[in-house]
Structure formats: C-alpha cells, structure tokens
Amino acid sequence: MAAAKRKRRGVPATAAKKLKRILKDAGQPAKSPAVAGDVEEEEKDRIPGPVCKGKWKNKERILIFSSRGISFRTRHLMQDLRMLMPHSKADTKMDRKDKLFVINEVCEMKNCNKCIYFEAKKKQDLYMWLSNSPHGPSAKFLVQNIHTLAELKMTGNCLKGSRPLLSFDPAFDELPHYTLLKELLIQIFSTPRYHPKSQPFVDHVFTFTILDNRIWFRNFQIIEEDAALVEIGPRFVLNLIKIFQGSFGGPTLYENPHYQSPN
Amino acid sequence: MDTPPLSGSDSDSDDSLVSDRELQDAFSRGLLKPGLNVVLEGPKKAVNDVNGLKQCLAEFKRDLEWVERLDVTLGPVPEISEPQPTPQSKDQKKAVNPEDDFQREMSFYRQAQSAVLAVLPRLHQLRVPTKRPTDYFAEMAKSDQQMQKIRQKLQTKQAAMEKSEKAKQLRALRKYGKKVQTEVLQKRQQEKAHMMNAIKKYQKGFSDKLDFLEGDQKPVSQGKKAAVKGQQMNKGPSAKRRYKNQKFGFGGKKKGSKWNTRESYDDVSGFRAKVAHGKVSKRPGKKGSNKRPGKRTREKMKSKSR
C-alpha cells in the first residue's frame, strides 16, 4: 500500500520543542536565554501549524449521510464530499421508512447545524437534501451527471481539508430563490477558518454555475498564481425541486417550474 | 349522470363559466355526452413565495467575515479570441449552449479563473497562504497510488498518439518516395529512348553532330536520383534477399570465403538440430513422405530383400 499519509510537521513538533526548552531551562539556568533564543529562531523558520495562529470560532458542522439502497457512485460521491469538507460528520444509513423530520433529531444528537442527506429511489434516481438543521430552510435537489474523485480524467489533487474558494455565477444574485440557495451553499461548503482538521492553504476552488436551470458544481485545483487550473472532481449537477421553509418540512417557499420528475 | 358535487359547484360558481343548472341544460340539449366530465385544472402554478424567501434569507443569513466564507460572485473571464472587441461585454453575454460540452466546461473554467484572479490579491493582503511550501508534507485528497495511476494513463495516451503520428508520417513518406522513384525511372527510360534515336540518326547519316553525347550529364536528375536512392538505401535489400545473397553469392563474393581453419571448424552456426535429425519439413502438407533413407539403411534393406 503506498503511503498516503506523509509526515506532518506542525503541532507535535512544536510541542516537542517546548518540552526540550523546559528541560533545558531546568537543567542549565545560566545558559537559558541563549538556548531559548536559538529554539525560537528555529520555530520562526518552521511553517506554523494550522491551529496555532487563531481560534476556531465559526462552529459549522455538516452531517453527511444517506438512505439505504444507494449505488456505488453515490457512495463514492458521499465519501469524496466527506473528505473535501473537514467540518463534516458521518452517520449510518437511515431507513427510508422513517419520516424525514427524524433527521433533525439525528443532527441534534450529533451536534450538527447543517445536513446533506442523499436519498436514492428505485436504485436509479438520487435526491439530495441540503438543510439548515434546527429551523432554517431546506432544499431538495435531483442529482445528475455524477463523476467522482477517483475517475482517471480528473488529474488534479489538493490537500485534504484545505479551505476552498467558492465561486458563484452572477445569476445567483438575480432571483430570490437563488440568493437563498447561495447563502445555504456558502454556509455548507466553506470550511471554517482554524478548524482543527483543516489546512491553512487555499488551493482549490469550487464553482457553482447556473445553466439550463440547473446548478453545476465543479472543483478545480489552483496550480499557478496566474490562474492555471486543473479539475480535481467530483462533479455533479443539481436540479432544484423545492425549497422548504423548515428543515425537512414546513411550507414550500419555492417550487421549480422547470423540474420534471424522472419517471 | 354524475352531477358535479354541489359544494364544489357552489364555491366555483362565481369563478367557473358553467354552473350546475347550465350543465343540466346542456346535457338535455345533447351537447354533453354521458360519462365522466372531468373539470380540467389549469396549468399548475409553481409556488414562488418571494417575500417568504426574502424573510427566510434575512433570518438565516450569518454575518461572517469574508475570510471565513471566501466566496466570490463573478462572471467568467472574457474570451481572448473574440473578433469584435466591443466594450459592452456585460450585456453581450453569449448564452452558453448547455449541450455543447466543450463550451460549457470552458465557461466553468473561465469563471473559476476570474474568481481566482480576483481573490488572490485579497488573500495576500489578509496574509492567508495560497502556495504550499515544498517541504510541507500533508495528506492529500487523492492518494499517491491514485496519482500514479493517472500519470500512467496520461503517459500511455501520449505514447499511443505519438506512435500513430509516426506511422502516419511514415506512410505518407513511403507514398511520396514511391512516386518519386517511378518518375525517375520514367525519365531514365525517356532519356534512353532519346539517346538511341540520336545515335540511330547519326548512324544513318541524317545528322553529323555529336552534341547529344554531351547533353547527357544533367545535374538535376542525378540530384533527384541521389535523394531517392538515399531514401531507398536506408532499407536496403529485404531480409529474404540478404539471405539469398549470402547463400548463393553476389557476383564474386564466394571467392575465398571458405577456408578450413580452426575458426571455421569450430563454427557450428550452420547446424540445425531439427534439420539434422530430419524433423523439419519444408512442405507442411506432406510430412516425410519422400524421406529417402540413408546409405547404410538402404544397403541393409537391399541385403534383407534378397
């Protein structure tokens, strides 16, 4: 198995250095200023670990899970999303017989405030729910054209858990339901700063574009400063069905007139 | 006859065009056929609660710093290859045809590019790092194994393309070479014919100038010949030809080629075990049909037969 995990320098090393410094101080009080000075210089040269510079304030947690009966492609997509979003939590498959508002309770138990729920019907259609858990709005989409991270045509790569740049189409500002969706997408997909599992670099960009009354999602890696990009994947297309005022229920705020059920 | 429910008709009576009474009249007159007369609903009106949406957004929106969200809303970078550099690039938004895959993907790419170009200076200002240092090792989204696979695939693709290109070029070259060769041969024939005519004329006494002998050396055709020969010479005689040349000689090659020295005695390269044991058959159809037995065997047979 090729070693996927490479050595990570950051917090453990600085902690070790601190220990050394304390021991040295205890041992040789006369020489301590010089030693401390050396150690500090070394620490300055080292790249700071992800957490030490700031405090994690934006407590956003996403629950990503699915119902039973999903295909392999959906499962891979779910795993890819979990990998790309370090502020996500996984859960076991839910039985489709349960009502949807049970999901709110699951979210509360896991202490999550957003949720992405994949629902597969008849082993063919995939529906995705995006919702803000306690009271907020939720939206149901039909997912099409799924391509996962593992496809060989997606040649880019990014750090696991690095923060994404989110790029939206100007069409998102034109209609009210799109502005609501934009806010929901921003809150879900942006990794909070100083999250313990995140990396401080911004090296990939998510694009959301509105085309043909659907939302197209792409993920690109930023190679050069002059905006040379390579696709990382995954990619999918969201076809909006409805927006509800409550989480997994409540009055319908918006219904997509262009949506046609796949059956 | 099924009358529509009275409550329904009462509530609809203000809006609908026909009421209960009128339906009955129409039926009695014979305009309505018996059966289920279904009230056709109008086209479904999609719910679009704009105020509700706005209110919801206002409640739900979180005022985070831009650094937390890192979002950009920008159109795509304008194409470079636009023929008319009109200033109204915002209005002139060519609707991207969603069926055209290439155009669509390019529009996404350009949107991402414009976002990156707009955001990088801002990030540098806020001192958020964007470039990963070369000694910073951390886990990547795709494993090394996966990247290796991708690299392999790209390499094989490239190699295949190059190979096909080369083959195409070779084919084209061969065609051209063949054409040139035939041209040269024809020209030679013509020259020869011309020469013979001139000689005959001279012999028969029609002309007494010997100019035709000098007009032979034309540098152009020789140059061409050399070029054609060069192309042909690379391949040389084929393997079969070379073998036959080697076996049956090639005009004086055999003189002094067989010596009875230690080297020639030790050289067993011409020994084929299968041939020696008589197991190789040159004709795949008939196997050993006319295998004449050796001298000893024949003598034995002769003595036995007697």
> Token pair for residue B22?
């009128």
Closest CA to A62 of A92, A83, A87, A91: A87
Query: A229 and B112 in contact by Cβ < 8 A?
Result: yes
Q: What is the pLDDT of residue B288?
A: 53
Q: What's the one-letter identity of residue B142?
A: K
Q: Decide if pLDDT at A160 tops 90.
A: no
Query: A202 and B130 in contact by Cβ < 8 A?
Result: yes
Q: Decide if pLDDT at B100 tops 70.
A: yes
Q: Does A238 touch chain B (CB under 8 A)?
A: no
A165, A178, A208, A209: best to mutate for the B interface, most B CBs within 10 A: A165
CB < 8 Å from B in window 77-106 of A: 83-84
B108, B110, B150: best to mutate for the A interface, most A CBs within 10 A: B108
Q: What is the pLDDT of residue B153?
A: 92
In eight-state DSSP terms, residue A94 is B
Q: What is the pLDDT of residue B87?
A: 44
Helix, strand or coil for residue A204? strand
Distance from CA of A28 to the nearest CA of B (A): 33
Question: What would the DSSP string read from start to end of B107-171?
Answer: HHHHHHHHHHHHHHHHHHHTT---SPPTT----BSS-HHHHHHHHHHHHHHHHHHHHHHHHHHHH
Distance from CA of A20 to the nearest CA of B (A): 23
Q: What is the pLDDT of residue B168?
A: 95
What is the value of pTM for the model shown?
0.61
Q: CA nearest A192 in B: which residue?
A: B68
Q: Decide if pLDDT at B101 tops 50.
A: yes
Closest CA to A110 of A163, A57, A56, A65: A65
Q: Decide if pLDDT at B191 tops 90.
A: yes
Q: What is the mean pLDDT of residues A186-208?
A: 89
Q: Decide if pLDDT at A80 tops 70.
A: yes
Query: Band of the pLDDT at B292, cuts 50, 70, 90?
Result: confident
CA distance B12 to B230: 98
Q: Does A193 touch chain B (CB under 8 A)?
A: yes
Closest CA to A208 of B225, B194, B107: B107
Q: CA nearest A208 in B: which residue?
A: B108
Q: Decide if pLDDT at A207 tops 60.
A: yes
Look at B196-200, B221-225, B273-277 and tell me which has the smallest mean pLDDT. B221-225
Query: B128 and A225 in contact by Cβ < 8 A?
Result: no
Query: B111 and A167 in contact by Cβ < 8 A?
Result: yes
User: pLDDT tens digit string along A216-239?
Assistant: 999 999 888 888 899 988 999 999
Of B46, B49, B98, the CB nearest to A211: B98
> Token pair for residue B89?
């690039």
**Alpha-carbon Rg for chain B in angstroms:** 47
Query: A4 and B140 in contact by Cβ < 8 A?
Result: yes
**In this structure, how many other beta carbons lie within 10 angstroms of the beta carbon of residue A260?**
9
Q: What is the pLDDT of residue B124?
A: 85
Closest CA to B39 of B16, B10, B64: B16
CB A106 within 8 A of CB A91: yes
CA distance A129 to A120: 11
Query: A183 and B60 in contact by Cβ < 8 A?
Result: yes
Q: CA nearest B134 in A: which residue?
A: A47
Q: What is the pLDDT of residue A28?
A: 44
CB < 8 Å from A in window 34-53 of B: 46-50, 52-53
CB < 8 Å from B in window 111-170 of A: 132, 136-137, 149-150, 152, 154-155, 157-161, 163-170
Query: A169 and B75 in contact by Cβ < 8 A?
Result: yes
CB < 8 Å from A in window 144-203 of B: 144-150, 153-154
Q: What is the mean pLDDT of residues B99-117?
A: 88
Matching residue, tokens 């018996």:
B34
Q: Does B106 touch chain A (CB under 8 A)?
A: no
Q: What is the pLDDT of residue B178?
A: 92
Of B137, B139, B148, the CB nearest to A9: B137
Distance from CA of A81 to the nearest CA of B (A): 10
> Token pair for residue B162?
């190059």
Q: Does A202 touch chain B (CB under 8 A)?
A: yes
Model-level ipTM above the cut of 0.90: no
Look at A220-234, A237-251, B238-252 and tell me which has the smallest mean pLDDT. B238-252
